[in-house]
Amino acid sequence: MADFYAEPQTRESVALHPEILEKVEVIFSGWGAPRMDRAFLDAAPNLKAVFYGAGTIGYFVTEDFWSRGIVVTGASEINAQPVAEYTLGTILLGLKNFWGLSVGVRDGLGWGDHTRMVPGGFRSRVSLISCGMIARRLLAFLKPFDIECLVYDPFLSEAEAAYLGVRLCSLDEAFQEGDVVSLHAPDKPETWGMITGRHFRQMKKGAYFINTARPRIIRQDELIDVLKVRPDIQVILDVSEPEPLPLDSPLLGFRNVTVTPHIAGSLGPECGRLGEFMVEEFRRYLAGEPLRGGISRERAALLA
């Protein structure tokens, strides 16, 4: 095992002093990892493995990285936990029209006849867009509730859908039928802009849309246009373009839009879970055991 010989670095400090990489065999990193291109790898000729205690690896791995056979393991599966927790809480509150009714109370509407705007948790429908690690963990969280789950995912088979206890649907059906629609699609060129204004216009009266994925999957300008004529729908955005939103953003002017500052993933003490997982992975690596979060070039192509 290589000796510890350097304090924690940033991508900037490594770029200024690439010689620090000369004897590196293992790198532990998280969000903000340096791009591991040919120049970086030439400076790190002994690099054998990267332990990435965060989500997507797409921004730092390169063809040169894969061609050198470097092992990489990530914590996407572990980081899925808090995102699924955030989404579960938001779904349950959305089914009670928590945000819409709280604004109404503040506006002086009192209690009134609001029951028609509350689907509740009895045989309501939740639509999930994509069925990756976060969505699957969320489905496990939703199992105790009397809620029907619909999934749009062109890569999910009927057999797997039956195993998960969900009903496959088209993208249009997900928006037309869901009391809550939750976006979990990967951030890929193929998914950029796939959620359009047409989808938002199809939403049920009083339905909720939640985005904890990436902002460019939705056409934000088209969402804004729909919000101008659909004050009944509620939108919860944990991601936006740009981040943070400028104070004059139209999104911040809608009373039926709630924006949170990208908090669904691991924050503060939750990051300890990612660190513990990387330590476990390193022990498995040293013992020659399969890595639970190991990522191949083929698997990386499917991840966000």
Q: Give the list of residues 6+ apart from residue 12 with CB closer than 8 angstroms, or none.
A: none
Report residues of the chain scoring pLDDT below 70.
1-5, 110, 112-116, 304
Q: Give the list of residues 6+ apart from residue 247 with CB closer than 8 angstroms, or none.
A: none
pLDDT attached to residue 1: 47
**Tokens for 229?**
């004529």
pLDDT attached to residue 301: 79
The counts of H helices and E strands in the chain are 12, 10
* pTM to 2 decimal places: 0.89
**Tokens for 149?**
């789950």
- End-to-end CA, the chain: 32
Is domain 80-259 given the CATH code 3.40.190.10 in the classification?
A: no
- Rounded to an integer, what is the distance from CA 118 to the centroid of its chain? 27
Total residue length of the chain: 304
pLDDT attached to residue 114: 61
Place of tokens 């045989």: 123
pLDDT attached to residue 16: 94
**Tokens for 117?**
């705007």
Residues of the chain within CATH 3.40.50.720 domain(s) are 11-77+268-300, 80-259
- Contact of 65 with 41, CB cutoff 8 Å: yes
pLDDT attached to residue 116: 62
- Report CA torsion sign: 211, 216, 220, 222: negative
The CA distance from 78 to 265, in Å, is 10
Reduced 3-state DSSP string for 59-70 = CCCCHHHHHCCC
- Contact of 213 with 87, CB cutoff 8 Å: no
- Contact of 223 with 239, CB cutoff 8 Å: no
pLDDT attached to residue 55: 86
Is domain 11-77+268-300 given the CATH code 1.10.580.10 in the classification?
A: no
Helix or strand run (H / E) with residue 150:
strand 146-152
Angle at 90 between CA 160 and CA 293, to 5 degrees: 50
Cα–Cα distances (Å) from 304 to 10, 24, 191, 213, in that order, read 23, 28, 10, 9
pLDDT attached to residue 115: 59
